[in-house]
Structure 1
């Protein structure tokens, strides 16, 4: 770990709270704390939404998955505690679904989820009836679940029903309303910018190291960025670094250290499906007994997934392996044999690592969102969070704010009124330039994925990427040679991150049309 030079050891800037991690929960906490009057600094070692926040399944779900288990009646009757936990998570999911779809309807796209029910299967029709009655009782009335269970005339009600397996044993198809989050990256960017307009300081591409206790109380941190090393202090530190949370504590936590995080990888494959699938998705349990989805990403693109496998490496390097792809393709064809999907049908893949809670004896981690008060580990004033999904980031931000409030009051006053998000403004190249000038974009990945989403769901061709680089080179101080290096770096990232180059790369003309 790097240490600040002695010359910078005096006069360190002091904040109420330093947040480590610029993912969805870190930026949401920054927004809530700033709005409450706290002086906040957010440090992110890379760019916003760099880890799990940008690589989720993108589903804003109702919470049914928490009741989806083989033999649910036996499972929950034998373990009332597990039923209580599932009910609590389902209630939180219903509340998150209602709040986020109302607050950000432009990025929460509704669709009809279909759950096929088979005679003799692990999930019976009455299981779903009971599950949806529970969801309706646990959550807000709006938006409606629109639940119904279709028992006959499947082809009339579900346009792709002919592709489903084992029609002779298909007992029913349950349908209900779900949502896809079109741009979790953008939610993260908007939360960070709102916090900044309220007075928070953002330090991107800056590694924060907790150096030890501060003489004035609280914690001393070293911020290592492009301009050297700076010392700051704060009585409270929020360690929201996701899968890197344990690394943040290395060197300051008393030994022996129990890990905070268990990482599990979720991989997805993306294919193009016929028009009969438009506006629909599919939920089921795969042959291993875990939830499996076909989700509409937009247009004719649909993803199948996720996998769930242990992962201990760098989350930024997580990719869908050949083994992952074979599993997902096999389960997709088992679910929908009428499609006859092949590897050549895969447009791209992606994988993300979930920062779930560590629990002895649970190799796949704990899925319950938990705020860890590390005073119990001899680190007073340091908090961490595990298992905080994108869909519930609004309530996570409030819970983190409340945890801070139990330690220190805000040093300032809340802003006099809510701070609106800025108008996206001009189209075309101006949108790209705005991302640099007003939204802290510093590379092509941050420009084309995180802030504009132009590269999401397709591969950009080299000419389109070069055109984007040219439009912002003057703002970022890139020489022609540096711009060419940035383009090459992006092309390599695009191929490695999404696994496969699409046959029809997005051209400059298409990119300009979409901006």
Structure 2
């Protein structure tokens, strides 16, 4: 079928996917003078971007494995890949802390070391010496090994195997406060630079024209449809990357291998304030206790293969039991139970498919899909939240090799995002925040307001009164009748219970 394109609006680039890498790419491309349309099948930060572990780590995790010396000696290629990823982590850590300090919350990570365990103190000494050489000097790692545990580690009495505990390595880490909001701010910056945002809109590749442009069908959830053309397509759909291909084209070998990570949120005593804990769980994978907000901390992640639709990923009974088991193995003094779990979440990491690595390859990669019958289509896999800035630049450079910008370069803003009213603020201030989310930030439902754009319903369950106030605040703006408003409240509470259940309801 040939599409007549004389009256079809054209763009330099169509970005498919409104997660952290899609919005970062749109921001970089518009700043460089490209005309961009960003299409997202749901809301911004709908997938892995909002369901990650939210840690801005220094890169140590890439060396955390059972028997590290033996493992890397047997596979120098794996060691070199770990070095590259650790270097990228250190660089992204510096960049994010420097440019978006309001999004980076520092804390002291503690890595307990036990006599006879696979991870030895000298392993960490070497690891941090290497990290210090790989990355910028600021922000500092503040690495040291604590031996006076009673004096310097306030929760030491909760740790397992006290008789074998020889020391605790401490170092500075950061939590990424609210990746969802970073996606929103990136998208709004791209829009100010001229990008067109099409949220709740599915993009489908139809065909290429005789002059090499792609015809893209846009189908909005509202029922509206649109046809656009683009010279380059960026497929940044995360876990859904393999679903983006021309109509009728058979599936190739997958680009993405999904692995599910689940987390549980609990309240911990004051002695944990300002601290986190890192270790390897009994299966040999990294396991953390991380500060969320106030006295709320979370344990995770799990790591299991997941080949279903990422929208269906949610914490299971088995996930919660596993995480509680590992938390109590690490910190038996807490004696955590299911009733202590106030919130859970799960997301799917879109790692790079590799038949030789069943759990997927963690290296960030850009794929040119020409050999798959999709020239001028690029995809990215395994792009973590913390390195989204460099991912945006790398994607811009990849586009620039295919196409010059049609417009002028503009200055990319590094201004902090707007202030969002906190849950404890007065109802009038909260109402204004909710209205702003709708009027200026493309929110169209209560999930987009209470989670993505304000964070009020992240890490905690909110009650009906909070949800009803948000709904009443925006009902007129969204054209909701009283009946529709009530339904939206019910739908949000049902979604909260199903996708972020408490421990007893998982």
TM-score norm. by structure 1 comes to 0.94
Relative to structure 1, is the Cα distance of residues 368 and 343 closer, same or farther in structure 2, using a 3 angstrom cutoff?
A: same
Contact 2:39 2:199 in 1 (8 A): yes
Segment of structure 1 superposing worse, 294-303 or 368-377: 368-377
1:498 is matched with which residue: 489, 495, 500? 500
SS at match of 2:459: coil
2:46 is matched with which residue: 50, 53, 78? 50
In structure 2, the residue matched to 1:92 is: 88
CA distance in 2 between partners of 1:55 and 1:205 (Å):
19
1:486 is matched with which residue: 488, 492, 501? 488
CA distance in 1 between partners of 2:174 and 2:342 (Å):
22
Deviation at 1:252, TM superposition (A): 5.8
CA distance in 2 between partners of 1:93 and 1:269 (Å):
25
In structure 1, the residue matched to 2:424 is: none
1:353 is matched with which residue: 334, 348, 357? 348
In structure 2, the residue matched to 1:77 is: 73
In structure 1, the residue matched to 2:232 is: 236
In structure 2, the residue matched to 1:295 is: 290
In structure 2, the residue matched to 1:401 is: 396
Over residues 249-279 of structure 1, what are the superposed CA-to-partner deviations in whole Å (9 max), with x where a residue is unaligned? 26465x5611010000000111110000000
2:329 is matched with which residue: 326, 331, 334? 334
In structure 2, the residue matched to 1:325 is: 320
Contact 2:338 2:503 in 1 (8 A): no
- In the alignment, does 2:205 pair up with 1:203? no
CA distance in 2 between partners of 1:430 and 1:108 (Å):
26
Over residues 96-131 of structure 1, what are the superposed CA-to-partner deviations in whole Å (9 max), with x where a residue is unaligned? 111001111111100000000111101000000000
- In the alignment, does 2:152 pair up with 1:150? no
In structure 2, the residue matched to 1:274 is: 269
Segment of structure 1 superposing worse, 321-330 or 76-85: 76-85
Deviation at 1:376, TM superposition (A): 2.8
2:31 is matched with which residue: 35, 45, 66? 35
Deviation at 1:456, TM superposition (A): 1.1
Deviation at 1:140, TM superposition (A): 0.4
Contact 1:55 1:352 in 2 (8 A): yes
Deviation at 1:212, TM superposition (A): 1.2
Deviation at 1:215, TM superposition (A): 3.1
CA distance in 1 between partners of 2:496 and 2:188 (Å):
26
CA distance in 2 between partners of 1:119 and 1:251 (Å):
59
Over residues 396-429 of structure 1, what are the superposed CA-to-partner deviations in whole Å (9 max), with x where a residue is unaligned? 0000000000000000111267474564388321
In structure 1, the residue matched to 2:118 is: 122
Contact 1:114 1:173 in 2 (8 A): yes
Over residues 420-441 of structure 1, what are the superposed CA-to-partner deviations in whole Å (9 max), with x where a residue is unaligned? 4564388321111111110000
TM-score norm. by structure 2 comes to 0.95
Over residues 125-159 of structure 1, what are the superposed CA-to-partner deviations in whole Å (9 max), with x where a residue is unaligned? 000000000000000000000000112x2021100
Deviation at 1:171, TM superposition (A): 1.4
Deviation at 1:361, TM superposition (A): 2.9
Q: Over the residues paired in the alignment, what is the CA RMSD in angstroms?
A: 1.8
Over residues 175-225 of structure 1, what are the superposed CA-to-partner deviations in whole Å (9 max), with x where a residue is unaligned? 000001111000000000000000000000110000111233121100001
Count of residue pairs brought into register by the alignment: 497
1:438 is matched with which residue: 437, 440, 453? 440
Contact 1:89 1:368 in 2 (8 A): yes
Structure 1, unmatched stretches of 5+, are: 504-515
Relative to structure 1, is the Cα distance of residues 11 and 236 closer, same or farther in structure 2, using a 3 angstrom cutoff?
A: same
1:167 is matched with which residue: 144, 162, 168? 162
Contact 2:31 2:411 in 1 (8 A): no
2:310 is matched with which residue: 299, 306, 315? 315
**Matching of residues 458-497 of structure 1 within 5 Å:** 458-497=460-499
CA distance in 2 between partners of 1:425 and 1:363 (Å):
42
CA distance in 2 between partners of 1:422 and 1:269 (Å):
28
1:449 is matched with which residue: 441, 445, 451? 451
Relative to structure 1, is the Cα distance of residues 420 and 125 closer, same or farther in structure 2, using a 3 angstrom cutoff?
A: closer
Segment of structure 1 superposing worse, 24-33 or 452-461: 452-461
